[in-house]
Structures are given as C-alpha cells and as structure tokens.
C-alpha cells in the first residue's frame, strides 16, 4: 500500500473517490427515512450519482496503481486513516436542515470544480468530470432551493437551518485548501487553481443566502481540517464500519 503514496494523481483520485463515496453513503442513510416520499427518492438519487462518480475515480486509481487492486479493494479494505475525504462529508446527517447545508456546501464546491475539471489535460479526469458535472448541477439546484425554502420558511425551519449553518460552515475551508498532492497537480495544470473557483462559489453562496434571508456567516472562526490528510472526526470510523462490514467479515464475498 505504501508504494503508491508518492504519486499525486493516485492520492488525489482516492481523495475524490472517498469524498463522493462517503457523502453518497451518508445520503443513502436517509433511504426509507426521508421527510416525504419525493425527497426520500431525491436523496437516494443523489447518493447513487455520487456512488457512480466514486467508482469512476476508484477504477482509474486502481488502473493507475497497477498492483492488481480493484475498485472494491480501495473502497472496502482501507481504514479510516487511509481515507482522504474532507471532514465535511463525513459529518452525520442530523436533521434535514443539516443534510441540506452539508449538501449545499459540497455541491457548490463540487459543481464548480467539475466545471473546471472538464478542461483538464488528463483525459480520464476530464471525461469523469464531463459526466458528473450534469449530475452536480442538479444537486446544486436541489440543495440551493432547499436552503432557500428552509431559510425563508417557517420559524421552525429557520431555527434548524441556522443551527445547521452554525455547525457545518466551519468545514468549508478545507475543501479549497490544497494538499501537497493537489498542489502538485495544480502546478501541472491537471487540477484547476482553487482560488479561481472561489469567486463564483462565493457569489453563488451569497445569492442563495440572500434569497434565504439568512445573513452571511461572519468571521473566520474555527475551521476544521485534516480529513484530506487522513485525520478524521470520530464519525468516519462508524461510517466505514457499516460500509465495509460485509467485506471485512466475509473477505472476497460476492453476490
């Protein structure tokens, strides 16, 4: 496993794959528990989109590594400290407002990243981005509309939204803080420079918050980070325990 740690593209692919897999898994936890049938399906749809994207990254990573590991090995047989997702996506679902805010922060980043990634000189990355960006555009529309509805809705929805924003806004800076692997790829032009994404992301967030009648969260405050380097919150271990249970208990099991 140590052999490939020096390859920035491999590291980044794992990071991107882990990010989509972990968030997709979180959203799948809503299945059967959604507030209404229609949103239960919407959440499951988004979860499946993210799972599909994660598979593309894992497959590419496995191919690049060339050690015979498969997408399943990468997803099911790596421990929490080897996972490279940012802290935001492993945060628990909480109530619907928490899920919406977490999704909005991720979608706003994800969509704008994929848009830029379509122009990557790495043909495989560009192709994955081209497919995923259409899905991400819809995700962003979904989470933006719900953020507006909750903010400009009832006293109850507003109270819950405010609480979710206070809890989760601190995880957004990590998304755009390049790891050494990301910085190396940015220098090669394989990844876009993240500060180029920032203005459009900020503009969209400001627009949505204004529509939601929510004042923009102020101050730098505490920002959580470390997930992309393998330093995770307590939540990821429990998530992986469930996600990996079958392969850990019955190695190689297929059905």
Partner 1 sequence: MTALNIPGMTQAEWPLWEVFIRSKQGLDHKHVGSLHAADAPMALQNARDVYTRRLEGVSIWVVESQHIHASNPDDAAELFDPAADKVYRHPTFFPVPDSIKHM
Binding site for partner 1 (CB under 8 A): 32-42, 45, 138, 141-142, 145, 149, 154, 156
Contact (Cβ atoms closer than 8 angstroms) between residue 67 and residue 146: no
Q: State which residue, 103 or 120, has the beta carbon closest to partner 1.
A: 103
Q: State which residue, 155 or 234, has the beta carbon closest to partner 1.
A: 155
Contact (Cβ atoms closer than 8 angstroms) between residue 197 and residue 54: no
Least spacing, CB of residue 150 vs partner 1, in Å: 12
Q: State which residue, 30 or 57, has the beta carbon closest to partner 1.
A: 30
Least spacing, CB of residue 41 vs partner 1, in Å: 5
Q: State which residue, 35 or 226, has the beta carbon closest to partner 1.
A: 35
Q: How far apart are CA 33 and CA 30, in angstroms?
A: 5
Q: State which residue, 4 or 45, has the beta carbon closest to partner 1.
A: 45
Report helix, strand or coil for 152.
coil
Task: Count the helices and strands in the chain (H runs, E runs).
Answer: 10, 0
Contact (Cβ atoms closer than 8 angstroms) between residue 34 and residue 206: no
Least spacing, CB of residue 22 vs partner 1, in Å: 22
Query: Residue 69 gets which letter from DSSP?
Result: -
Q: How far apart are CA 27 and CA 53, in angstroms?
A: 14
Provide the CB-side half-sphere exposure for 251 (13 A, CA).
Answer: 3
Least spacing, CB of residue 35 vs partner 1, in Å: 5
Least spacing, CB of residue 135 vs partner 1, in Å: 12
What are φ and ψ of residue 68, in 5° steps? Answer: 85, 0
């Amino acid at each position: 496993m140590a052999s490939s740690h020096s390859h920035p593209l491999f590291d980044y692919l794992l990071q991107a794959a882990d990010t989509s897999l972990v968030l997709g898994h979180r959203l799948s936890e809503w299945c059967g528990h959604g507030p209404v049938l229609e949103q239960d399906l919407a959440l499951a749809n988004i979860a499946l989109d993210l799972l599909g994207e994660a598979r593309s990254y894992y497959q590419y990573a496995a191919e690049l590594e060339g050690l015979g590991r498969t997408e399943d090995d990468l997803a099911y047989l790596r421990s929490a400290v080897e996972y490279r997702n940012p802290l935001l996506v492993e945060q628990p679902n909480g109530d619907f407002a928490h899920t919406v805010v977490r999704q909005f922060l991720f979608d706003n980043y994800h969509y704008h990243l994929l848009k830029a990634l379509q122009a990557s000189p790495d043909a495989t990355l560009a192709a994955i981005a081209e497919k995923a960006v259409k899905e991400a555009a819809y995700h962003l529309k979904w989470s933006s509309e719900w953020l507006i509805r909750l903010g400009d809705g009832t006293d109850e929805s507003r109270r819950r939204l405010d609480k979710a924003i206070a809890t989760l806004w601190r995880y957004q800076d990590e998304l755009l803080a390049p790891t050494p692997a990301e910085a190396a790829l940015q220098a090669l032009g394989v990844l876009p420079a993240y500060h180029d994404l920032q203005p459009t992301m900020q503009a969209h967030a400001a627009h949505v918050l204004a529509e939601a009648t929510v004042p923009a969260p102020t101050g730098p405050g505490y920002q959580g980070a470390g997930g992309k380097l393998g330093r995770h919150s307590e939540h990821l271990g429990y998530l992986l325990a469930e996600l990996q249970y079958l392969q850990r208990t019955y190695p190689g099991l297929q059905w």
